[in-house]
Amino acid sequence: MSVVWSLAELEQGPTLRVAEIFHSIQGEGAATGRAATFVRLAGCNRACEFCDTDFSTFAELTVEEIARIVRDLNPRIGSRRAIVVFTGGEPTLQLTRERLAALRAELDAAAFHLETNGSTLDRWGGAGWFERLTVSPKTLEDFATTLRFWERAPNTLPVDLKIVYDGQNLAPFDAAPRSIGRYLQPKAVANDPEATARNIEKTIRYVKENPQWTLSLQLHKTLGLR
Ligand code: SF4
């Protein structure tokens, strides 16, 4: 169940609303198979009908408390190879520049990755704190916002596009820069394994015919990981 909160509610105050923090394997996109510590921030500005993230319970944590939990879960966090993935919900709603600066000070060398729906990217000022961004727009309006962000994003920042697919027209995404990673994830349909299987089939067929796209299968779910 997704929960939509106002921006003012999320950006202010000494704490962030955190749905969960856990250490696992990245199951999607370019870093698939890499160990990563996930910080899932609660709340989203979209309400997708297929959303499988429950934000109804969350803890209010300071940056220092978040960093302590991340360090406890992943003792290798001081290494440049360690990855912290900020996901959601829509994490940019809470990751203000000030909070990111404080997180960077606490977590030192770890690579910060971001998973975002792209809707805030044209006004969000936090990209400079990240080593990789995965943008998964759920509407064409959010993709247009992402394109505006791409025009001014530094060339050195890896940005991937991930689309949840059930057969829709993907032609609008041809406007994304050629150099980016394009990942296609079959749409999972709750309580309907046959519909999910049909979407997997459609996605495989599309990727075979359009090799600029890469199949992304949520490896963590296949393996029964969190
Ligand atoms: S953008 Fe992502 S987190 Fe937000 S409601 Fe949609 S699927 Fe859920």
- Side chain identity, residue 12: Q
Per-residue pLDDT at 4 exceeds 70? no
Q: Closest ligand 1 atom to the C-alpha of 2?
A: 5
Tokens matching residue 45: 């500005």
Which residues, at least 6 apart from 81, have a Cβ–Cβ distance to it below 8 Å? 111
Domains of the chain, each with CATH number or no CATH: 7-161 (3.20.20.70)
Q: Is the beta carbon of 101 within 6 A of some atom in ligand 1?
A: no
Closest residue by Cα to atom 7, ligand 1, is 51
Question: What residue's CA is closest to ligand 1, atom 3?
Answer: 89
Start-to-end Cα distance in the chain: 17
Q: What is the pLDDT of residues 76-105, one digit of tens each?
A: 888 878 999 999 999 999 999 999 999 999
Can you tell me which residue has the tokens 């890469």? 214
pLDDT of residue 79: 81
Residue 9: the pLDDT is 59
List pLDDT tens digits, range 133-156: 999 999 999 999 999 998 887 777
188 ligand 1 Cβ < 6 A? no
Token pair belonging to 179: 């150099």
For β-strands 83-87 and 35-41, DSSP reports them as: parallel
Annotate 36-62 with three-state secondary structure. Answer: EEEEEECCECCCCCCCCCCCCCCEEEC
**What atom of ligand 1 comes closest to residue 117's alpha carbon?**
1
- What share of the chain in percent tops pLDDT 70? 95
- Tell me which residue has its CA closest to atom 8 in ligand 1: 51
